[in-house]
């Protein structure tokens, strides 16, 4: 059995970056950027009005002004204001020549036909100046960033209509076990619904993967081996739950080797998730994950994501909040790194949730994050400062 840190190092060392591809900007959400994004223009590209009002020379703002024209956003008309003149202007319109401020429409009164006067005291510019946000050549985004709506806005501004991104990892998911039934089935005595696969499907999709679900393989070499081979041929990564411990029907490790995978570790010092298997066959990967639902969640969150992040070229994905622990966390077994679900209150306190063990996946439904319990530690006292891994 290896440490958690050793498992992450093995995963990172073996992960191979997926190829890049171009996609339409409208289809780039959640993809990982694989190029530097540099602006090709100044932003704003010209001096423009920040408000609806009247553009004039500031030195004339105390005088009655003559309105010599109107400028709307997008208007190509070029106007120039001179002494005691102004131009009626809309938000976003190009500033006319000679003008150095815009009098807000709310602060102006009409004194006659095409005549206005400023009612305020001291006018302010109300101008968005050329290049004040971005100068042509500025780097807006870096390779390795996840594309969310705010990054996509920058791509659009910089003219990246077809950004270069990582190909989505193809992930195949299957479960094993005679006792497992699908969620639509009412379990009989000794049966349990398959929560693992659907949690993993959602987890992988949320992380930006294309997912194929292969169903449940019964506890036989033939059934499990057939699905492993099919999933291997069609995916970059297989996530398989159940059958990885040391029991008579824990067939998975041997079948993975028979399918061409080299087992890189079998057993990690984490709680839950100790029997986890990781294997590689050229640029194909597999995780054999214990069948306990919480183990499935924890292993994906803490280990599988490390593999996917390297494959996608994702620079950072983990989000951590430093909180004060609202109630002590205690445990009896301390030989492995442990995790506990917590809810973060409005004042930043991490409150441990009621948790009964590795089958209690419903405890995570209201969790905001998980708190690590280091090896050798049986109690994390109330009031301790803890790093909450947000989930």
How many domains does the structure of the chain reveal?
4
296 with 196: CB under 8 angstroms?
A: yes
Give the single-character DSSP code of 125: -
Tokens 């990982």, located at residue: 32
Which tokens in the block code for residue 241?
Answer: 């739950």
Q: Does 154 share its domain with 222?
A: no
Q: Does 206 share its domain with 305?
A: yes
Q: Which domain holds residue 65?
A: 48-128
Average pLDDT taken over every residue of the chain: 96
Confidence (pTM): 0.90
Q: Does 36 share its domain with 141?
A: yes
223 with 217: CB under 8 angstroms?
A: yes
Q: Does 57 share its domain with 116?
A: yes
With 80 as the cut, is the pLDDT of residue 175 above it? yes
pLDDT (tens digit, 9 = 90+) per residue, 179-223?
A: 999 999 999 999 999 999 999 999 999 999 999 999 999 989 999
With 90 as the cut, is the pLDDT of residue 359 above it? no
How many CB atoms are closer than 10 A to CB 360? 15
Q: Does 172 share its domain with 289?
A: yes
What's the pLDDT score for residue 248?
A: 60
Q: Does 264 share its domain with 305?
A: yes
**Left (φ > 0), alpha (ψ -120 to 50) or beta: where does 237 sit?**
beta
Residue 296's domain is classified under what CATH number?
3.40.980.10
Q: What is the Cα–Cα distance from 240 to 173, expressed in whole angstroms?
A: 6
Q: What is the Cα–Cα distance from 65 to 108, expressed in whole angstroms?
A: 10
Confidence band for 246, pLDDT divided at 50, 70 and 90:
low
Residue 150's domain is classified under what CATH number?
3.90.105.10
Q: Does 68 share its domain with 111?
A: yes
Question: 257 phi and psi, to 5 degrees?
Answer: -65, -40
123 with 105: CB under 8 angstroms?
A: no
Confidence band for 249, pLDDT divided at 50, 70 and 90:
low
363 with 370: CB under 8 angstroms?
A: no
Residues in the chain, overall count: 391
Task: Give the mean model confidence (pLDDT) for residues 375-382.
Answer: 97
Task: Give the mean model confidence (pLDDT) for residues 340-364.
Answer: 93
């Amino acid at each position: 059995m290896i440490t958690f840190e050793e498992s992450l190092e093995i995963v990172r060392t073996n992960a191979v970056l997926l190829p890049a591809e171009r996609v339409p900007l409208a289809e780039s959400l959640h993809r990982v950027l694989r190029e530097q994004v540099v602006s090709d223009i100044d932003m704003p590209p010209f001096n423009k009005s920040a408000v609806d009002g009247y553009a004039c020379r500031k030195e004339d703002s105390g005088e009655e002004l003559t309105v010599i024209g109107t400028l709307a956003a997008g208007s190509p008309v070029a106007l120039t204001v001179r002494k005691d003149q102004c131009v009626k202007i809309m938000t976003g319109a190009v500033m006319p020549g000679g003008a150095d401020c815009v009098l807000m429409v709310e602060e102006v009164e009409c004194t006659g036909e095409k005549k206005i006067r400023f009612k305020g005291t001291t006018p302010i510019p109300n101008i968005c100046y050329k290049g004040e946000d971005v100068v042509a050549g500025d780097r807006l985004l870096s390779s390795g960033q996840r594309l969310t709506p705010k990054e996509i806005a920058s791509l659009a501004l910089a003219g990246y209509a077809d950004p270069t991104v990582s190909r989505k990892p193809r992930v195949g998911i299957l479960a094993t076990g005679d006792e497992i039934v699908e969620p639509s089935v009412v379990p009989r005595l000794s049966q349990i619904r398959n929560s693992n696969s659907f949690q993993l499907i959602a987890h992988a999709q949320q992380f930006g993967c294309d997912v194929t679900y292969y169903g449940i393989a019964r506890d036989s070499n033939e059934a499990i081996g057939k699905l492993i081979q099919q999933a291997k041929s069609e995916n970059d990564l297989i996530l398989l739950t159940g059958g990885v411990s040391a029991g008579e029907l824990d067939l998975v490790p041997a079948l993975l080797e028979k399918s061409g995978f080299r087992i890189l570790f079998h057993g990690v010092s984490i709680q839950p998730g100790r029997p986890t298997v990781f294997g590689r066959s050229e640029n194909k990967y597999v995780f054999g994950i214990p069948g306990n639902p919480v183990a499935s969640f924890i292993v994906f969150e803490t280990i599988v994501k490390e593999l996917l992040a390297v494959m996608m070229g994702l620079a950072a994905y983990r989000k951590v909040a430093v909180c004060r622990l609202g109630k002590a966390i205690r445990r009896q077994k301390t030989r492995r790194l442990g995790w506990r679900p917590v809810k973060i209150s409005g004042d930043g306190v991490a409150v441990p949730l009621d948790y009964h063990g590795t089958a209690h996946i419903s405890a995570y439904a209201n969790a905001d994050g998980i708190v690590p319990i280091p090896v050798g530690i049986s109690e994390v006292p109330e009031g301790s400062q803890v790093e909450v891994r947000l989930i």
